[in-house]
Amino acid sequence: MKLLDRCLDLLYPPRCVFCDTLLQEGELYFCQSCGEKIPMAEGRERIRTGVYFDRCVAPLLYQDMVRESFLDYKFHQKTWRAATYAAFLEPYVREEFPALDVVTWVPLGRRSQKDRGYDQSELVAKGLARRLDLPCERLLEKVRDTQQQSRLERPEQRRANVLGAYGVKKHASVQGRRILVVDDVITTGSTIEECCRMLTLAGAAEIHCAAVVQAVGREGREAKNDETLANEE
């Protein structure tokens, strides 16, 4: 495995997840200069609570370089960044949720996935599951199209928009399991809530959540606008 890693490093030298510069010896995931200014949520700010999940851990803030890195990841095919985001999440997930059975994710609709070529949350969930030595399973599917959440202003509109939009997949094993649901960005939380509601109805024993980035207030509105713009490109 070590040798394979070294070969991969030669072929694809590791780059800073924020500014793309080649990493120097001793740097991991991001360069030193980016490392000094990463917008991180501090302490309990990292934790959001919900109705159908108890806690969602989301360590990065949707600002500046995180925002740019993320837009690139989501809309410009920089899929290699998923592994780094997963590495970022790992210690927080280990700390908050030491006992889990399976990792899953908030799935994209079929059409969006086809257009984009990948599901950005699935890639992070897979990377994270590998690090946690847990299975990563597709437990959820999007069962109807929704309006883009980014176009809806009020929280109640967003909740209504996603109600019934997700279902538990046929033959998915949910009953009695402790599940981690991964999403890329959490804004109002209505999408991940709806996914957790379906998992609750299907008999999950525990449901916890992790998102790479959280966007609140002004950032939340920016996140929504960014998504609208990028989707219209």
Instruction: Return the number of the residue (69 or 121) whose C-beta is nearest Zn ion.
Output: 69
Segment lying near Zn ion (by CB under 5 A), choices 14-22, 47-55, 113-121, 136-144: 14-22
Q: Does 102 interact with Zn ion (rule: CB under 5 A)?
A: no
Q: Does 17 interact with Zn ion (rule: CB under 5 A)?
A: no
Segment lying near Zn ion (by CB under 5 A), choices 16-24, 42-50, 79-87, 168-176: 16-24
Position among 15, 16, 102, 106 found at the interface with Zn ion (CB under 5 A): 16
Residues in binding contact with Zn ion, number by CB under 5 A: 5
Position among 15, 18, 161, 168 found at the interface with Zn ion (CB under 5 A): 18
Phi-psi region of 154 (alpha: psi -120 to 50; beta: other; left: phi over 0): beta
**CA torsion, ordered 66, 71, 76, 79, to nearest 10 deg:** 50
Q: Is 226 exposed, middle or buried (0-12, 13-18, 19+ CB in 10 A)?
A: buried
Position among 7, 19, 205, 229 found at the interface with Zn ion (CB under 5 A): 19
**Closest approach of Cβ 233 to Zn ion, in Å?**
25
**Closest approach of Cβ 207 to Zn ion, in Å?**
35
Segment lying near Zn ion (by CB under 5 A), choices 19-27, 46-54, 161-169, 213-221: 19-27
Q: Could you tell me whether strands 178-186 and 56-57 are parallel, antiparallel, or unpaired per DSSP bridges?
A: unpaired
**CA torsion, ordered 61, 75, 208, 154, to nearest 10 deg:** 70
Whether the CB-CB separation of 147 and 175 falls below 8 Å is answered with no
**Closest approach of Cβ 57 to Zn ion, in Å?**
24
* Angle 38-151-18 from CA coordinates, rounded to 5°: 20
Q: Could you tell me whether strands 56-57 and 47-48 are parallel, antiparallel, or unpaired per DSSP bridges?
A: antiparallel
The single residue listed with the structure tokens 């209504």 is 160
Position among 15, 29, 31, 82 found at the interface with Zn ion (CB under 5 A): 31
The single residue listed with the structure tokens 């019934």 is 164
Q: Does 34 interact with Zn ion (rule: CB under 5 A)?
A: yes
Segment lying near Zn ion (by CB under 5 A), choices 30-38, 140-148, 177-185, 188-196: 30-38
Whether the CB-CB separation of 51 and 60 falls below 8 Å is answered with no
**Closest approach of Cβ 30 to Zn ion, in Å?**
5
Q: Which residues bind Zn ion (CB under 5 A)?
A: 16, 18-19, 31, 34
